[in-house]
Homo-oligomer: A and B are copies of this chain.
């Protein structure tokens, strides 16, 4: 049995005429006759009573034609459904974001996203890197915004931007005296960290050579569960810390008693990438998302353009101009304007 045959069937039933039905189906009359005959044999039921000058649907035929209509109706619904999924931007985009990025990045893009790509339904989830990668592998999320490179060849990345680290300490603190911060200052700073599992904690430890120092038992075991808590601990005078630039944006206004400045040392930034399964079929939505995200970043971060697979997506308005020339793979960052 075949959907085509069923179409032929209802065409004949509607017209009680093989020739007209054939015309309607854009096939020749013998073709249609043959297919109807085949269908009748297959079903074991005579569907039409043919006489020389008329065709009449049999009683059994009436019932079967009615059912055939139901089949075709559902098949039609399937095609409409498929058509509604034609737009790769459409549908949910389940996006994992690390906790040290999510609360500072999402507010920047939610509104522009809804404005420019209303069909993208962003479903964010905030978890730590390891969890996100696990969930990515389990197809529970479609992509993740991570600050660490992913090695597995199963995954691919679109580098989005480099986010400098800022040194944060109480106003009344020895570091306030320093005109410029050096690596030596970092190496001996009284650093406060996030709990284990946060990639930010790892990165800060690496930048400040904390692994070596910890071996000497120098560092307190005091760990914060969020950047918010961390800042409060700094404000309370427990020590200093490094903060990613986007987090600085939001806290600078109302956190008093804190001194913050961007680190100008080499490799004192983290690279934020959009990571996804190599096999994820809706590249376009990721590319659109990445492009929109980059277009709505503040100047405190360094946007990375030039990812080969990023292209203007069909139907996308291209009114946003490139804000920056290529600054790819910069490990010795230029100075930049900054706010706050």
Contacts and interface: CB of A to CB of B under 8 A. Distances in A.
Nearest to A66: B81
Contact of A45 (B6, B59, B85, B279): B85
Nearest to A90: B60
Interface string A182-206: 0000000000000000000000000
A70 interface: yes
A85 B64 contact: yes
B64 A81 contact: yes
Interface string A10-54: 000000000000000000000000000000000111100111000
A284 to B, nearest CB: 11
Contact of A44 (B56, B67, B86): B86
Interface stretch (A72-80, A163-171, A249-257): A72-80
A279 B49 contact: yes
Contacts of A64: 78, 81-82, 85
A281 B49 CA distance: 7
Contacts of A67: 74, 77-78, 81
Interface string A261-282: 0000000000000000111111
A162 B78 CA distance: 61
A282 B85 CA distance: 47
Nearest to A154: B51
B43 A79 contact: yes
A51 B82 contact: no
Given A63-B85, A74-B70, A154-B51, A46 B282 contact: yes
Interface of A: 1-4, 6, 43-46, 49-51, 56, 58-60, 63-64, 67-68, 70-71, 73-75, 77-79, 81-83, 85-86, 91-92, 139, 154, 277-282
14 contacts: A2-B4, A3-B3, A44-B86, A46-B281, A46-B282, A49-B277, A49-B281, A50-B279, A58-B282, A60-B82, A63-B85, A64-B82, A68-B78, A70-B78
